[in-house]
Amino acid sequence: MKKLFAEFFGTFWLVFGGCGSAIFTANYQDLGIGFYGVAVAFGLTVLTMTFAVGPVSGAHFNPAVTLGFWSCGKFDTKYVFGYILVQVLGAIVAAATLFLIVSGKSDFVSVGSFAANGYAELSPGGYSMTSVLITEFVTTAFFVIIILGSTTHVDSKKLAPIAIGLALTLIHLITIPISNTSVNPARSTGQVLFAEGGHYVGQLWLFWLAPIAGAIVAGLVCRLSKKA
């Protein structure tokens, strides 16, 4: 239960901090942080919570990361469903919290895209489904490789949260214009449930398929590298 609570709160913080920065401060008047600030915010959420609860749960906060550890042989199958369930719940509760906050603004009309992920007409830069699919697959694969590598070696394990946080920051700097950056099916799920119009729900499948496929491939690569 401690592990599950840690995953719930860690995922909540990732979505609340990362998506919250995109919703509230990215374009705020002349003081907006832009997508550079949003990228840093996502990195900081993972870095801080990995230090906080990493020793408890391993600090996955992401179904793709959990499946990456599993495919690498570093995570017991019997815990996979529980981890993914609480990660998705944490993301949904965080998104609901953000919705309650933003809807309380005096001139509130609509939540708009609500930092949801999308492709084609729902991509920030108008990128196609294929472009987004490739982007999410590749970036998630490298993200998981960085996580597995930095948490495996004794020399780098203590600094792993920094490497992981910086990796997520870099991924956002690359991919926000393409897909609004997912690499995390739980993060995508929470936001689409509240995004305006419901159009994003129909594209959610990609933000489960591509990150999970990339993570499993990364796990298999790490498994094979250990045998080489």
Burial (Cβ within 10 Å: 0-12, 13-18, ≥19) of residue 100: exposed
Mean pLDDT of 174-202: 96
Hey, which bits of the chain come out as E strands? none
Q: What is the DSSP letter of 195?
A: S
pLDDT surpassing 80 at residue 226: no
Q: Tens digit of pLDDT for each residue in 157-180? A: 889 999 999 999 999 999 999 999
Total structural domains within the chain: 1
Within a domain: residue 124? Answer: yes
As a whole-number percent, the residues of the chain with pLDDT over 70 amount to: 99
In a domain, 115, yes or no: yes
Identify the domain containing residue 89 by its residue range: 2-223
Residue 126 in any domain: the answer is yes
State if pTM tops 0.85.
yes
pLDDT-derived band at 154, boundaries 50, 70, 90: confident
Q: Is 107 exposed, middle or buried (0-12, 13-18, 19+ CB in 10 A)?
A: exposed
Average pLDDT over residues 11-23: 97
Question: Does residue 92 lie in a domain region?
Answer: yes
Cβ-Cβ contacts under 8 Å for 22 (sequence gap 6 or more): 38, 41, 115, 180
**pLDDT given for residue 42 in this prediction:** 97
167 in a structural domain = yes
Domain assignment present for 143: yes
- List, for residues 39-52, the tens digit of each pLDDT value: 999 999 999 999 99
Q: Read off the CATH number of the domain in which 109 is found.
A: 1.20.1080.10
User: Is 228 within a domain?
Assistant: no
Residue 11 lies in a domain: yes
